Amino acid sequence: MKSFAEIQLPALSRPSSLRQVFLLNVGFFGGHLLLTVFAALIFSHSLAGHFWPIWPAAGITAYGLLVWGPRVIPGLLIASLLGGHFFIDLHWGINIWFACSEIMGSWLGSLLLRRFCPGWAGLQTVRHSIAYLLLFAGIPSLFTAGLTGAGGWLFTKATGNIPHLILFWTMAKAAAIINISTLFLLFFHGKPAQKTYLDKRFLLLGTGTLGAIILLFFQTYPSGNLAVGAVFLLILPFLWMLANYPARLVYPLAAIGFLLALVGTSMGYGPYEHSHNLYPETLAQMVGILLESIGLIAAAMMYERNHAATALETANRELEQRVFARSQDLQIRNRELQIRDAFLQSVTEVNRLFAAIEPLELSLILVRFCEILVTRMHLAAAWIGVVDEHTGQINIPAKAGELATPLSKIQLFCWATAEHTQSPSGRAITENRTLLFGARDPLFEPWQDLIKTHRMGGSIYTPFVWPDGRRGVIALYRFDDSVFPNAIVELLERLSEDLTAFLRQRKVAQQLDDARILQKTMLISGDIALQAREAPQMLQQICEELIHSGLFNAAFIIRPDEHGVFQALALAGHHVEWILQRRWSIHPDEVPDGQSLTSQAWRKREKLIVQDYLRALGPETDWYAEASQNQWRSVATFPVYHRQECWAMLNVIGPRPDLFNQEITEVLQQIALLVGHALDEIHLKSELLEERQRQSHLV
């Protein structure tokens, strides 16, 4: 169904400039005169004399007042006066009366249509079509014809044919509005829903219909002919064209056909030439307006039916889409609930792991942590990472799942460099927030082959902080192209908080355990110091006891000789003999041997502690490789005072960073004091023994 275009009338209250008003009046003045000249030419042989069967200029008057209101009255009034004087030969009195009647009737139609049908938007509905025909065309045309008839009676005093003329003028005015005004509204204010196009069928049918009208209305017929009935068949092709083509194509064709029928009738031809009760033109007007009205209403009915069917089809399609979307949403929600439930079960089992009475080694606990997540949530992989702040590489101390092994073989970096791109886990760490990624995210571009091979899908990363301050991340991966629901973000963040709390608690417990072990070592060292008879043996035993505590992988006591070079008095631990292979000096001008931690502590006569020894050294240091190989991760050195002077340095090296907390540091200081007191005791005993021997010798 090709409907009439939607028509949008501008608001009459819309302001216009003087220039716009002037141009509008000039345009309507010219259009009114042109239509008057056109009517005068084609109806020069009208049977009714100067009264034409259609007044095209009245159509532009009605259109102008409907769309633009009274601001175009000056141009229309002047054009009507000039046209009536020069082309119809009306006297000025009746000419003014007729012009004012035409404008008043058109203004009445505009008021009626806007007042009683405020939402009028064209001829697409039956209600709007009837309102247009009745309020805008019918009543104003009758009103104008009545005023015109009254004016004719006042000025001519002739009453014989006034009723016939009133009916004639009513039909002429209505025909002008239905044809001319409608065309102006369609072409200047219509918003077609589809493009206007021509095809062979329309051209053939339109040409044939116009040819039939010409044949029907441009020949003479005997009285009582059947051609009167054939006129009503002309509506059929127009109805078919309205059902299949836009109104912008069909309605001009109908107006041309109506005009041809009036021209033929006014020349004395056609089926109505034998009419005696009414003017033949009046009958042609009435039949033409009736057929056009039937066509307009029928087209509106077809449009409404088609629009209702389309609306129903659209509603059904939208309903199907909503049902489908709702079904998909329910499926997604169901999957999300399943994932959420599996995650909650994982959290419960992880918390039981953290609260176990017999704790496992931390590495085993972290691996078990990943295994629980993979098993419960059916993940492709889960791993825990820690950032190497020197290189930016993310190391993986614990992992589980099918993808864990392939993932552990690739290098992941926290930040982008010239040689490496930033990984998704690195993005989460640097932004310090939980992030969700799909497998097609640009950050995964370097690993697309791995993703396709192992069917890796969405992933989620949440950062956390290790107890020693290093940054870490928990990473989870799914299979295929599925992603994690947003509800998992909050749960995973809570799980990372639980892991952080567990690691901190475990570190505190380990520190307390380390302090307890070291206190026990201090007691043993005290016994060694009390029982010692010789300093070298006592120093060696204390170093060995520190190693036996399990907290350190190297312990040694060194003292500078007369050249300022440290010499080992006692040493114990793994690969500690390497210390004797270097020349450690106390002089600051000797680089690098005079820049060691022990050298600095000796010069300052105070303890020094480095919690991350490898980081403090840096790869460019000469002994960095040996320190890294021997797992020298944290170092502490304490001065040993003998006879009120700094006599030696007690050094201990731990296998992990951040080993020397406050408790361990205090215990090591006490051990250094014990060593000093033991040395003083041995020295005093030695002097006392020498004094006794001297006294005995004197006696």
**Same domain flag for 531 and 462:** no
Task: Write the CB contacts of 399 (distance below 8 Å, at least 6 apart in sequence).
Answer: 367, 370, 381, 382, 383, 384, 405, 407, 408
Task: Write the CB contacts of 384 (distance below 8 Å, at least 6 apart in sequence).
Answer: 366, 369, 370, 396, 397, 398, 399, 472, 473, 474, 475, 499
Q: Is residue 324 part of a domain?
A: no
The pLDDT tens digits for 403-437 are 877 877 788 888 888 778 888 888 999 999 988 88
Residue 89 has a CB neighbour count (10 Å cut-off) of 9
More confident residue, 460 or 225: 460
**Same domain flag for 165 and 243:** yes
Q: Pick the most confident of 417-421, 589-593, 601-605, 655-659.
A: 601-605
In this prediction, residue 137 carries a pLDDT of: 92
DSSP-assigned letter for residue 135? I
**Same domain flag for 303 and 363:** no
Give me the residues paired with residue 361 across strands. Answer: none
Residue pointed to by tokens 């119809």 = 88
The pLDDT tens digits for 242-274 are 888 888 888 899 999 988 988 888 888 888 877
**Same domain flag for 278 and 415:** no
**Same domain flag for 474 and 520:** no
* Nearest C-alpha neighbor of 593 from the set 563, 568, 562, 622: 622
In this prediction, residue 422 carries a pLDDT of: 86
In this prediction, residue 283 carries a pLDDT of: 86
Task: Label residue 275 by pLDDT band (50, 70, 90).
Answer: confident
Residue 145 has a CB neighbour count (10 Å cut-off) of 22
E-only strand ranges, 520-610: 554-560, 566-573, 608-610
More confident residue, 551 or 445: 551
Q: Is 68 buried (19+), middle (13-18) or exposed (0-12) by CB count in 10 A? A: buried
In this prediction, residue 357 carries a pLDDT of: 61
CB 379 within 8 A of CB 397: no
Task: Label residue 334 by pLDDT band (50, 70, 90).
Answer: confident
Reduce the secondary structure of 460-483 to three states and give it as a string: EEEEEECCCCCEEEEEEEEECCCC
**Same domain flag for 206 and 270:** yes
Q: Is residue 244 part of a domain?
A: yes
In this prediction, residue 574 carries a pLDDT of: 82
Q: Is 694 buried (19+), middle (13-18) or exposed (0-12) by CB count in 10 A? A: exposed
Q: Is residue 341 part of a domain?
A: no
Q: Is residue 113 part of a domain?
A: yes
Please determine, for residue 60, whether its predicted confidence score (pLDDT) is greater than 70.
yes
**Same domain flag for 459 and 562:** no
Identify residue 678 by its one-letter amino acid code: A
Please determine, for residue 179, whether its predicted confidence score (pLDDT) is greater than 80.
yes
Q: Is residue 422 part of a domain?
A: yes
The pLDDT tens digits for 340-399 are 777 777 777 877 877 776 667 888 888 988 888 888 888 888 989 999 888 888 888 999
The mean pLDDT value of the chain amounts to 83
CA 601 to chain centroid: 61
- Dihedral class, residue 157 (left if φ above 0, else alpha if ψ from -120 to 50, else beta): left
In this prediction, residue 462 carries a pLDDT of: 92
Q: Pick the most confident of 12-21, 535-544, 679-688.
A: 535-544
More confident residue, 192 or 572: 572
The last residue of a domain, from among 445, 467, 484: 484
Lowest mean pLDDT among 254-268, 325-339, 543-557: 325-339
Please determine, for residue 158, whether its predicted confidence score (pLDDT) is greater than 70.
no
pTM higher than the cut 0.75: no
436's enclosing H/E stretch is strand 435-437
**Same domain flag for 300 and 383:** no
Q: Which two tokens stand for residue 634?
A: 């944290």
The pLDDT tens digits for 278-299 are 878 888 889 989 998 998 888 8
Residue pointed to by tokens 């309205």 = 242
DSSP-assigned letter for residue 120? -
In this prediction, residue 610 carries a pLDDT of: 92
Residue 137 domain boundaries? 6-313
The pLDDT tens digits for 515-529 are 787 778 777 777 777
In this prediction, residue 192 carries a pLDDT of: 61
Lowest mean pLDDT among 128-137, 156-165, 226-235, 649-658: 156-165
Task: Label residue 651 by pLDDT band (50, 70, 90).
Answer: very high
Residue 374 has a CB neighbour count (10 Å cut-off) of 23
Q: Total structural domains in the chain?
A: 3
For residues 39-48, average pLDDT: 70
DSSP-assigned letter for residue 147? H
More confident residue, 288 or 161: 288
Peptide bond connecting 237 to the previous residue in cis, omega within 30 degrees of 0: no
**Same domain flag for 433 and 286:** no
CA 169 to chain centroid: 64
Identify residue 168 by its one-letter amino acid code: F
The last residue of a domain, from among 484, 499, 534: 484
The last residue of a domain, from among 252, 287, 313: 313
**Same domain flag for 377 and 253:** no
Q: Is residue 348 part of a domain?
A: no
The Cα–Cα gap between 145 and 82 comes to 20
Lowest mean pLDDT among 165-169, 171-175, 599-603: 165-169
Reduce the secondary structure of 358-385 to three states and give it as a string: CCCCHHHHHHHHHHHHHHHHCCCEEEEE
Q: What is the CATH number of the domain that holds 676?
A: 3.30.450.40
In this prediction, residue 11 carries a pLDDT of: 75
Task: Write the CB contacts of 612 (distance below 8 Å, at least 6 apart in sequence).
Answer: 633, 634, 657, 658
Q: Is residue 504 part of a domain?
A: no
Q: Is residue 321 part of a domain?
A: no
Please determine, for residue 590, whether its predicted confidence score (pLDDT) is greater than 50.
yes
- Report CA torsion sign: 249, 250, 253, 258: negative
In this prediction, residue 472 carries a pLDDT of: 93
148's enclosing H/E stretch is helix 139-156
Q: Which two tokens stand for residue 462?
A: 């949440």
* Nearest C-alpha neighbor of 148 from the set 194, 111, 106, 201: 106
In this prediction, residue 1 carries a pLDDT of: 44
**Same domain flag for 530 and 457:** no
Please determine, for residue 201, whether its predicted confidence score (pLDDT) is greater than 50.
yes
**Same domain flag for 408 and 557:** no
